[in-house]
Amino acid sequence: MNLPQNKIPVYVTNGTCVSPMGFNLIDNIEGIKKGHIAISEITDENLQNESFYGAVINKELLNKAFSQLTYKGDFSTLEKMMLLAVDQIAIEYKAQMNDKCGIIISSTKGNINALSTENNEAYFLHHLAKKVSNAIGIESEPIVLSNACVSGIMAVSIAKRLIQTEAYNHFIVVGGDLFSKFVFTGFQSFQAISSQPCKPYDKSRDGITLGEASAAIFVTKDLNLIKSNSFYEVIGESSINDANHISGPSRTGEGLFQSIKNAVKESKIEVSSIDCISSHGTATNFNDEMEAQAFNRMKLEKTPVFSLKACFGHTLGAAGLLETVISLAFADQNLIPPSFGYNEHGVTLPLNINSEAIEKEVKIVLKTASGFGGSNTAVIFKKCTSDEK
Amino acid sequence: MKNNIIHYCNIKNSEVYLDGKKLYEGAGEEDFSSFIKGVYKNFNLDYPKFYKMDGLCKLAIASSSILLEDLKDEIDPDMAILLSNKSSCIDVDLKHLDSISQGEESYASPANFVYTLPNIALGEISIKYKLRSENSFFIFEGFNPTFMIEYANSLTQLNKASSVLCGWIELNENNYNAFMFIIKPENGIEFTRKNLEKLI
């Protein structure tokens, strides 16, 4: 077939996010720098008699922030979170909305609170996607990616592929998921909910902390549209299934290992040039151990690695995109974010994890994610500066 | 060479077709769960794990097995899987919701919860056919042949896969429709919107 001799370069820019820590990127970045986390202790007897930890957005503040935007009509909490995240992109790239611009909505459970045995309309993910895409004036049919916990980052690689094969010129990628009783009780039944704010890669880790968030990014091949001083090229990506187990990762990290290997190969970079890894790091025993296996097999054990789960909780379909947006914003400032919750090394192989932010020139960022269904994704971003245009 | 549709399978209206040929007809008035059990037995799918799965995975495993069983040696180890539907995994979602809405009696079942993601169907197919490959699950309001063509072609053009197992795999109570097909740069039916709309 057509070998991609001269691949079209694809860039990401204007990342934004909405989390309990703040409704814009700057508040989230500054919060992390100050050592704040979005996770708090919650009392809700509907979910559990004892209090628990979660990263939940204050809905009064959300409604207030949303009311300052110009969107008219009824929107669900998740739709408001998504629109709040994507608003600035929609304004800045208004002229591109009808120029073969697609939208990918990444979500695992969408408006899950609308599920009932009667009127289910709002439950359907395409309904949510249409609400968001109509509100910002995208004409093309919205694409929903629902691929468990890799959805957010996989959506970026799908946008890149569809631009490289010239089916689209630009994409808006929006990710979001709620903190819900539906998901909380499910993970509870797996005994996978941490009794403390989760502690990725730590010896005392005992499971995940759930969170809710939304994030958005603009993906394009057109350098002229990029106004920020630093932006990133998506230089390699791959998503390989473990083909091993539907709810547990491969013990050897096979799918993640192959995903990273393929992404590195496509990037034509040396593994040693990766400056940091924004990992999945859910703080379950199996996930963190599996990642340690895969990173070591790739000889990435000396590369700084961090998980943002102890800050934002596990935000499911938003996680991969939220963590990308945060990681790239730190890279802009030549900083590597702290891996909160890490004190004592708790996986069997070495990894370079730091509980404090590190100052270092960051040019190449590897983002990984893994999830139920055996899914894994690795995407490599390379920093570009405005004089490269 | 361009990608063509080299084989396809349909499960709909109580019937099973392979490459357009009817291979099985159910009792007609049975519900989905009895019908799919009948399909499993008729095709000797011999995969005990089948009985643990939710309806969506049963439909995905049945249709992909009927399509792939005779091709075993010809399956590319890097064959990607691209599935889509409208209703995500609504049936098992409702089951999980019911189990957590019983007041004092609420008790979520991990065996149900694990299926409350549509992409679990991809995982099940990957495990059965040892496909360590690219796979993704999309949701649309209806069958979207344009997207399927664009995305499947991008996977082969960008060397992410040599072939793609594509499918529309919809289940909502007793309404079901599975259309699975393989595309590859080999002789077959032209991979066009018109043909897909005809074959579903």
Could you tell me if the ipTM is greater than 0.90?
Answer: yes
Instruction: Give the 3-state secondary structure of residue B5.
Output: strand
* Cβ pair A61, A217 in contact under 8 A: no
A125-136 vs A77-92: helix crossing angle, rounded to 10: 40
Residue (of A88, A106, A110, A104) closest to A26 by Cα position: A88
Assess B190–A contact: CB distance below 8 Å, yes or no: no
> Is pTM beyond 0.90 here?
yes
Number of cross-chain residue pairs from A and B with Cβ atoms under 8 Å apart? 170
Is the predicted pLDDT of residue A1 greater than 50, yes or no? no
- Structure-token pair, residue A357: 């932010």
Assess B122–A contact: CB distance below 8 Å, yes or no: yes
- Comparing CB atoms, the residue among B94, B107, B135 nearest residue A241 is B135
Residue A271's identity, in one-letter code, is V
Assess B144–A contact: CB distance below 8 Å, yes or no: yes
Q: Over the stretch B98-122, which tens digit does the pLDDT of each residue have?
A: 999 988 778 899 999 999 999 999 9
* Cβ pair A207, A198 in contact under 8 A: yes
Report percent pLDDT > 90 for chain A. 93
- Structure-token pair, residue A223: 């350098």
Is the predicted pLDDT of residue A5 greater than 60, yes or no? no
Mean pLDDT to the nearest integer, A150-172: 98
Mean pLDDT to the nearest integer, A53-62: 98
Give B139→chain A minimum CA distance, Å: 5
Sign of CA dihedral A130, A132, A137, A142: negative
Under DSSP, the state recorded for A142 is P
Give A16→chain B minimum CA distance, Å: 23
* Size of chain A in residues: 389
Residue A330 binned pLDDT confidence (cut-offs 50, 70, 90):
very high
- What pLDDT is recorded for position B104? 79
Is the predicted pLDDT of residue A381 greater than 80, yes or no? yes
Is the predicted pLDDT of residue B29 greater than 90, yes or no? no
For residue B124, the chain A residues in CB contact (below 8 A) are 246
Considering only residues 234 to 273 of chain A, which have any Cβ-Cβ distance to chain B shorter than 8 Å? 238-247, 254-255, 258
Who contacts B98 (Cβ-Cβ below 8 Å, separation ≥6)? none
* Cβ pair A237, A263 in contact under 8 A: yes
Under DSSP, the state recorded for A7 is P
- Helices and strands (H and E) in chain B: how many: 7, 8
Mean pLDDT to the nearest integer, B156-178: 97
For residue B132, the chain A residues in CB contact (below 8 A) are 240-243, 254-255, 258
Right CATH for B4-199 from 3.30.460.80, 3.40.50.720, 3.40.1440.60, 3.40.47.10 = 3.40.47.10
B90-99 vs A181-189: helix crossing angle, rounded to 10: 80
- What pLDDT is recorded for position A43? 95
The string of DSSP letters for A171-193 reads EEEEEEE---HHHHHHHHHTT-B
- Comparing CB atoms, the residue among A1, A146, A247 nearest residue B88 is A146
- What pLDDT is recorded for position A389? 66
- What pLDDT is recorded for position A182? 97
Give A83→chain B minimum CA distance, Å: 20
- Domains of chain A, each with CATH number or no CATH: 11-225 (3.40.47.10), 235-388 (3.40.47.10)
Mean pLDDT to the nearest integer, A36-54: 94
Interchain CB distance below 8 Å, B122 and A375: yes
Assess A188–B contact: CB distance below 8 Å, yes or no: yes
Q: Rounded mean pLDDT of chain A?
A: 96
Q: Over the stretch A203-212, which tens digit does the pLDDT of each residue have?
A: 999 999 999 9
- Structure-token pair, residue A237: 């990506």
Nearest CA in chain A to B157: A2
Q: Strands (DSSP E) along B19-121, which ranges?
A: 21-25, 80-85
Sign of CA dihedral A308, A312, A315, A317: negative
Mean pLDDT to the nearest integer, B171-188: 97
- C-alpha A334/C-alpha A42 separation (Å) is 35
Is the predicted pLDDT of residue A4 greater than 80, yes or no? no
- C-alpha A98/C-alpha A138 separation (Å) is 7
